Structure 1
Amino acid sequence: MKIGELAERAHTPVETVRYYEKAGLMPAPLRTDANYRRYDDGHVARLRFIRHCRALDLSLDEIRALLRVRDDPQADCTAANELVHQHLAHVQHRMNELAQLRDQLQALERLCSQGRPSAECRILAELAQEPEGGCSPAQASGAACLGDTHGRRTPGP
């Protein structure tokens, strides 16, 4: 099958298939005499596996590690279990950070619930304050302080 059919069968954009090939997650396909890529059902299964991993927010490096285990039928799956355990801990940490972010935003929201001239806006005034000890005065209401990244990871397809 050609790349378009592979993409359709795996519900993945063609550009994403090419991206995964360049990233080394998809094996290079055979080529036809006309130099078209030729894929098989193994490529479809692998692409679906990768897409499922991405849906779980696994990084490309984490996916590579899982693919190494998947590609070796005799490999011990302890590495896969440990990777999922670590990713789950990371997700829990991000959830805690997001809860703190929510609390910070709610504290800001409580500062002003009506329209005023921007010169009198308590939200804007609060955001202009220099954070004390890395935290803004709004966090005195009990919201925890976050770092600059809020747990963000570099997105990928």
Structure 2
Amino acid sequence: MGSYKIGKLAEAAGVGRDTIRYYERTGLLPAPGRTAAGYRLYSDGDLERLNFIRASQELGFTLEQARQLLTLKASDTATAAAVLAITLDKVREAETRVRKLTEIRDVLQDLADNCPREAPVSDCNIIAFLAEKRRPKK
């Protein structure tokens, strides 16, 4: 079993030291043991936990969702259905983001396709569109 000081753990997990400290403060990472000199000392399990959190974030899960997934992972009674529910919520969020990004891309492409390239900026349809665009009410 390996043991890591904070710098080595940060390097192995690809995160910053402040990230590790933050995860400790928020309970995502358990408080580590300490050396006689007071240095934090982490285990392979801590590294695995950090890697799990990072993998979760790369798929778009929030830290709170990563926490929920870690809790489910450690549970003796939870079923995969609970993990699936969290994942399907994330799928729906991703689909919404993709739809919005597709709409933005389509508008940008239309503006680019209709740009009077050699005209003065005062005649630019992109500038006119941006100047006239009103923000939707929230």
Q: TM-score range by the shorter chain?
A: 0.7 to 0.9
Instruction: Name the structure, 1 or 2, with higher relative contact order (CA <8 Å, separation 6+).
Output: 1
Task: Label 1:75 to 1:103 Cα distance change in 2 as closer, same or farther (>3 A).
Answer: same
Which sits farther off after the overlay, 90-99 or 111-120? 111-120
Amino acid at match of 2:49: R
Instruction: Please state whether the residue corresponding to 1:39 is helix, strand or coil.
Output: strand
Shift of 1:78: 1.9
Q: Does 1:91 align with 2:88?
A: no
Select 2:78's aligned residue among 75, 94, 100. Answer: 75
Deviation sequence 1:19-53 (CA, Å, 0-9, x none): 32233211111112211101011101101100100
Select 1:112's aligned residue among 109, 112, 115. Answer: 115
Instruction: Please state whether the residue corresponding to 2:53 is helix, strand or coil.
Output: helix
| Aligned equivalents of 2:109, 2:95: Cα separation in 1 | 21
Q: Does 1:16 align with 2:24?
A: no
Aligned to 1:142: none
Q: Does 1:49 align with 2:52?
A: yes
| Aligned equivalents of 2:115, 2:86: Cα separation in 1 | 44
TM-score by length of 1: 0.76
- Preserved contact between residue 5 and residue 42 of structure 2 (Cα < 8 Å): yes
Deviation sequence 1:1-22 (CA, Å, 0-9, x none): 2011112222323232223223
Deviation sequence 1:56-85 (CA, Å, 0-9, x none): 011111111101111223322321111011
Aligned to 1:100: 103
| Aligned equivalents of 1:39, 1:115: Cα separation in 2 | 62
Unpaired stretches in structure 2, ≥5 consecutive residues: none
Which sits farther off after the overlay, 92-101 or 119-128? 119-128
| Aligned equivalents of 1:28, 1:113: Cα separation in 2 | 61
TM-score by length of 2: 0.86
Aligned to 1:63: 66
Calculate percent identity across the aligned residue pairs.
38
